[in-house]
Amino acid sequence: MPASTSLANLSPAEHLLDLYRMMARIRAFENAAEETSRGGVAVFGSTADTSALVRGPLHLSTGQEAVAAGVCANLDRSDYLTSTHRGHGHTLAKGANTSLMMCELFGRATGTNQGKGGSMHIADFSVGMLGANGVVAAGIPIAVGAAHSAKIRGSSAIVACFLGDGAINRGPFLGGHNWAKIFDLPVLFVCEDNRYSATTATDAMTAGDGAAARARSMALPAETVDGNDVLAVDQAARELVARIRAGGGPQFLHALTYRVKGHVSVDPAAYREQSEVDGALESDPLKLAALRLEALGVAAGRVAEIEAQARSEIEAALAAARAAPWPQAGAAYTDVQDTGAGQWH
Amino acid sequence: MALISYAQAACQALAEAMRSDPRVVALGEDVGRGGIFGQYQGLQQEFGAARVIDTPISEATIMGAAVGMALTGLRPVVEMRVADFALCAIDEIVNQAAKNRYMFGGQGRVPLVARLPIGIWSASAAQHSQSLEAWFAHIPGLVVVAPATPADNYELLAAAIDCDDPVIYMEHKELWGLGGEMPPQRTATLGKARVARPGTDLTLVTWSKLAHTAVAVAEQAAQQGISVEVIDLRTIWPWDRDMVLASAARTGRMLVAHEAVQAAGFGAEIAATVAEELGIPVKRIGAPRIPVGYARTLEDVARISAEKLLQELSRFVERHPHRQPAA
């Protein structure tokens, strides 16, 4: 994805094709991750299949691609990003390499995290992606600190901080947003509202008027958008990012989307009606974007070509991950700490 | 030689670090006013509010922001006021600061110093008096430091700021006013203990404020004919196994004393290691597993007084007399 500066020069159709390409790559990545993880996580009361290629909790962002693609289209490589436990899309959209990401999901030495993090802790500092996080809302103070650091160092970098709707009920949401405002920091908070906090509907667990209202209560300008409409996300993010770069301080984007899959890949999400899921699939972000491309007169063949490219990119990533070496056991002792290294007992 | 207080020594170390390295910043509640113990006195005047940052009462966000700062090129020194309050930031310390480098495969480093003052202090009761060094020693990724003297507070805080690992830095709240001489040059390093008093009959390992009690007790024990070697551990993790084991091997008996609760305290780790490695008699002395009470009569039960330490030491020596050397 080109940086925000070059995007502005593209025709509307080419711009949307770029956004579509990113969403298609995320979708293909998520589908492949889901497929290769089957059996790899123990469903309650059962034992995990140890032969599965992707092990451990896998939180898929299938159906939420427009938020990652639309926001990150407005970031530069030198900007920072913090993510949630559902972070593949954000990582990919920030510019990470899909082969290195897949290697990480496979737990290989060549992964972004050298096999030490897996899906839930995926990170690529080389593109400013400061990490997914296994703890809800924990990325918020880290994002705020990165923005504070940029301000102190006189850097022009801004920070995009992704959080889920469940995160607004944790203390660091309050502490982090308050901090960003009082210190006037360059942070774009993006509440990616997929309506579920693990296996519970967030609405029933949230008092008051929700994420945007809470941000406004701390004097952060907040906008709510259809998070499945990639152009709407892109346009809102562009405006908010422009305000931040112009010194306008922290901004808040509330993107309404839907978690198509369960909380983790083994969760069948039996706690909700199929009709609810079916309804949500009607506004699938790729489907909406494809319709809009058609309306813009883009030939169907171009969309199909993008889909095919995305699939072949992810096939190559899978092949690379299958062939990649495991970490040596000795690597369990590296990157722990320098002071006292060797004193393991 | 001019005396300097424990608080002034830390202040001097931080000021020197901030003068020589623009990446060093300090943040926490009330630091701009000098900190509640005066350990930041004058720093905001010299370095400005952008580098000596007054923060809201948001421990989790203070610590999490420091992680974000450390990952992106700063070297933050974080004030938590008292160690008890750092429990509001335990995720940020344990799951974020300590894990970041490892779980992201070495992509980032977290060079932060988190100051968590410990110890019973001025009838402050259950939530402002705890010594929680063992909690943090248990966490891979963290360095844990507990200086006992002004000289060490100067040298070890400087070393902690220089360190690329996250450091939990635990000053004792009853030592702030303690005076001492400044070292002519920096010699203390993280992970190295010091012999606070040499001796031949028994090794007494301790740290923080209790190191001073231990030296006084050793003087009294000397009058009873027991020569006690007092080791001030200074760094809790990584602890100086070499010095402790060498001393214990020489004296043949090892006692470890700390102000923290004895059960599952760090003394248990040291005692177990010495017993495993040397097979000599060992003993732990720590607080009973009770919260610190407010009234003096209650607080005293949780303190390790000189009388209590001497009594336990004497009993230990009686129970484990040295074998007479073969004629």
CATH of the domain at A27: 3.40.50.970
Partner-chain contact B92 A141, CB within 8 Å:
yes
Task: Quote the distance between the C-alpha of residue B31 and its chain's center.
Answer: 21
- Find tokens 């400005």 and name the residue: B48
Residue A288 in any domain: the answer is yes
Give the per-residue pLDDT at A44: 63
3-state secondary structure of A142: helix
Closest CA to B40 of B70, B69, B12, B74: B12
Burial code of A205-226, b = ≥16 C-beta within 10 A, e = fewer?
Answer: ebeeebbbebbeebebbbbbbb
Residues in chain B closer than 8 A to A133 (CB atoms) = 96
Percent of the residues in chain A that have a pLDDT greater than 90, as a whole number: 91
Contacts of B143 in chain A (CB under 8 A): 337, 339-340
Query: What's the total number of domains in chain A?
Result: 1
Contact A148 B55 (CB under 8 A): no
Q: Does a structural domain hold residue A344?
A: no
A72 CA: distance to closest CA in chain B (Å): 20
Q: How far is CA B179 from CA A5, B5, B16, B171, B320, in A?
A: 60, 4, 20, 14, 37
Residue A2: pLDDT band (50, 70, 90) is very low
The total number of residues written for chain A in this structure: 345
- Give the CB-side neighbour count of residue B8, counting CA atoms within 13 A: 10
Would residue B128 show up in a list of annotated catalytic residues for this protein? yes
Nearest to A324 by CA among A56, A115, A51, A28: A115
| CB A176, CB A141: distance < 8 Å | yes
Q: Strands A200-201, A196-197: parallel, antiparallel or unpaired by DSSP?
A: antiparallel
Distances (CA, A) of A271 to A142, A190, A256: 33, 27, 20
Give residue limits of the domains in chain B. 3-181, 194-319
Residue B80 and residue A180: Cα distance in Å, rounded?
Answer: 20
Look up residue A225 and give its two tokens.
């958008």
Please state the pTM of the whole predicted model. Answer: 0.96
**A153 vs B73: CB contact, 8 Å cut-off?**
yes
Domain B3-181: give its CATH superfamily: Thiamin diphosphate (ThDP)-binding fold, Pyr/PP domains (3.40.50.970)
Identify each DSSP E strand in chain B by its residue range: 3-5, 24-28, 52-54, 75-79, 113-115, 143-145, 167-169, 179-181, 194-197, 202-206, 228-232, 235-237, 254-261, 282-287
Token pair 């844990």 in the structure block, residue: B144
Nearest CA in chain A to B190: A339
Contact A93, A68 (CB under 8 A): yes
Rounded to whole angstroms, the Cα distance separating A23 from B302 reads: 61
- In the A/B pair of chains, how many CB contacts fall below 8 A? 155
* pLDDT for position A1: 44
Residue A231 lies in a domain: yes
Provide the shortest C-alpha distance from residue A119 to chain B (in Å): 11
Residue B206's alpha-carbon distances to B198, B211, B322, in angstroms, are 14, 6, 22
* Architecture of the domain delimited by B194-319: 3-Layer(aba) Sandwich (3.40)
Instruction: Note whether B103 contacts A176, CB cutoff 8 Å.
Output: no
Burial readout A66-96 (b: 16 or more C-beta within 10 A, e: otherwise): bbbbbbbbbbbeebbbbbbbbbbbbbbbbbb
Asked if residue A48 has pLDDT above 80, the reply is no
Of B64, B102, B141, which has the smallest distance from its Cβ to A172's Cβ?
A: B64
Which residues in chain A have Cβ-Cβ distances shorter than 8 Å to B55? 179
- C-alpha to C-alpha distance for A276 and A290, rounded to whole angstroms: 22
Distance in angstroms (rounded) separating the CA atoms of residues B265 and B226: 26
- The mean pLDDT value for A223-228 works out to 98
Common-topology check for domains B3-181 and B194-319: yes
**Which segments of chain B have a pLDDT < 70?**
1, 323-327
pLDDT of residue A52: 87
State the DSSP H helix or E strand holding residue B266, giving kind and residue range, or none if neither: helix B266-278
CA distance B50 to chain A (A): 7
Confidence band of A51 (pLDDT split at 50, 70, 90): confident
Q: Which residue of B has its CA nearest to A81?
A: B68
pLDDT reported for residue A193: 98
Q: Is residue A339 part of a domain?
A: no
Using alpha carbons only, give the angle B129, B133, B136 rounded to the nearest 5 degrees.
125
Distance CA A230, CA A286 (A): 9
pLDDT band at A3 (very low <50, low <70, confident <90, very high): very low
Nearest to A160 by CA among A191, A122, A135: A191
Q: What is the pLDDT at residue A41?
A: 73
Alpha helices in chain A (DSSP H): 4-7, 12-36, 65-72, 88-93, 98-105, 139-153, 171-182, 211-217, 230-245, 274-282, 285-295, 300-323
Q: Cα–Cα distance between A138 and B51 in angstroms, integer?
A: 24
Q: Which of A131-145, A262-276, B77-91, B237-251 has the lowest mean pLDDT?
A: A262-276
CB-based contact, B291 to chain A, within 8 Å: no
Is residue A259 assigned to a domain? yes
- Position A173 in a domain: yes
Show residues of chain B in contact with A339, CB under 8 Å: 143, 163, 165, 167, 190-191, 238
For residue A214, what are the domain limits? 4-39+53-333
Please judge whether B142 and A121 are an interchain contact, meaning their C-beta atoms are less than 8 angstroms apart: no
B102 touches chain A (CB under 8 A): yes
Gap between the Cα atoms of A161 and A17, Å rounded: 25
- Residue A80: in which H helix or E strand, if any? strand A80-82
Residues in B 145-174 with any Cβ partner in A closer than 8 A: 163-165, 167
**Residue B156: its chain A contacts at CB < 8 A?**
none
Among the partner-chain residues B95, B105, B163, the one whose CB lies closest to the CB of A116 is B105
Chain Cα centroid distance, residue B278: 26
Nearest CA in chain B to A82: B68
Helix A65-72 to helix A285-295 angle (10° resolution) is: 60
- Residue A194 domain flag: yes
Residue among A133, A148, A55, A57 nearest A90 (CA): A133
